[in-house]
Amino acid sequence: MSFYGNFIAHTPKFDFVGKRIPAFILTAALIIGTFVSIATKGFNFGIDFAGGILIEVQATDGPANIAKMRDQLGNLSLGEVSLQQFGESGRDVMVRVQKQDGDEKAQMAALAKVKETLGSGYDYRRVEIVGPKVGDELKRDGVLAVALSVLAIAAYVWFRFEWQFGVGALIATFHDVILTFGFFSVTGMEFNLTSVAAILTIAGYSINDTVVIYDRVRENLRKYKSLSIYELLNLAVNETLARTFLTVATVFLTVVSLLVLGGEVLHGFAASLLWGLVVGTFSSMYVALPVLIYFNLRVGKDREEDEAAAQAAP
């Protein structure tokens, strides 16, 4: 017997469903908090959505003089220019210039101005310009992708299970998506195309988790006809708890290695995935599962089976 086998010798008997009311209150509070944050603070949109210019420069000799750079670029009347030093050597600086009024040409002109002002002594490691037209399209595509994937997930679950499960999956996935939006709003972390990828990954991961538990609920519905729904749901989540723990652990390990070692570009992505891992696991056990108690799971199934039995009888 392995180390872990000894550790988890018995199926746990936690009462997940019984704690649903505090869980729902917590969920509601978090969702309200998210909406308040979005309404008051909004998002820190990256240039993918807001348009504008992002330049990553590396000073060629020694640490960058960020105060001097800020001075130089601040006087160009390009609107908001933000500078951020990062990395260990202090040579890397991320420069963000807000979207310029006017069309695409105005953005290009602003870039030329920045390059000219900074002059030599910097290596341009990354330059991104998104014009106003593309920014709007990317925003639209992002919203569409998130909305459609939530619906597609719910539709698939509805198709494979009963409608009650589809509704549960829809609620849980919405919950994860909204709270991840909240994460970006509250932390003020840059919201860009990669963030949309993170949200969809979280939705996908969380539904994965939910489906495993739902699958067990469905199986137990057939197996234990006399068990109350309350006990049945608790049994399903407890039986799959070991798996949930192990999978969360492996995904956690890989996401942490991305967060620590993946570099500047993936940092935000990994951080939001870590949040999503927590939210997604929570929603599978405390949102997607307990909501099933409010739908009469047995009625449809039993009637079908009764009818089948009636037909089979002579």
Partner 1 sequence: MLQFPKWKIVMVLLVALCGAIWAAPNLLPRETTDRMPSWWQPVSLGLDLQGGSYLLLEVDTAYIKREHLSGMVEALRATLRKEKVRYSELGSSQDNVKVRISDEAERERVRPELRKIDPEALMDVSSDGMFVFTYSEQATAKRINQAVEQSIGIVRRRVDELGTREPSIQRQGADRIIVQLPGVKNPEHIKSLLGKTAKLTFHLVDDTASPEDAARGRIPPGSMLLPSAESGRGQPIQYVVRKRVEVGGDLLTDSQATFQNGQPVVSFRFSVAGGKRFGDTTSANAGKMLAIVLDEKVISAPRINEPILGGSGIISGSFTVQDANDLALLLRAGALPAPLQVLEERTVGPDLGADSIQAGAIASGVGLITVIVFMVLIYGTLGLLANVALVLNLVILLALMSVLGATLTLPGIAGIVLTMGMAVDANVLIYERMREEQKAGRGLISTVQVAFERAFGTILDANLTTLAAAALLFQFGSGPVRGFAVTLSLGLLSSMFTAIMVTRLMVGTWIRVRRPKTLPL
Q: Name which of residues 203 to 242 contact partner 1 (CB under 8 A).
A: 203-205, 207-209, 211-212, 215-216, 219, 239-240, 242
The amino acid at residue 172 is A
- Residue closer to partner 1 by CB (options 104, 231) is 104
Pairing of strands 44-45, 122-130: unpaired
Using CB under 8 A as the binding rule, the residues of this chain from 117 to 176 that contact partner 1 are 123-131, 133-134, 138, 141-142, 144-145, 148-149, 152-153, 156-157, 160
Q: Measuring CA to CA, which residue among 119, 45, 130 is closest to residue 82? A: 45
Residue 1 or 312 with smaller CB distance to partner 1? 1
Contact 28, 176 (CB under 8 A): no
Q: Which is nearer to partner 1, 26 or 111 (CB)?
A: 111
Interface segment toward partner 1; rule CB under 8 A; list 36-44, 193-201, 280-288, 299-307: 193-201
289 contacts partner 1 (rule: CB under 8 A): no
- Residues 39-78, mask of contacts with partner 1 (x by CB under 8 A): -----------------x-x--------------------
Measured from the CB of residue 136, what is the shortest distance to partner 1 in angstroms? Answer: 11
Give how many residues touch partner 1 by CB under 8 A.
77
Least Cβ distance, residue 255 to partner 1 (angstroms): 7
Asked if 265 is part of the footprint of partner 1 (rule: CB under 8 A), the reply reads yes
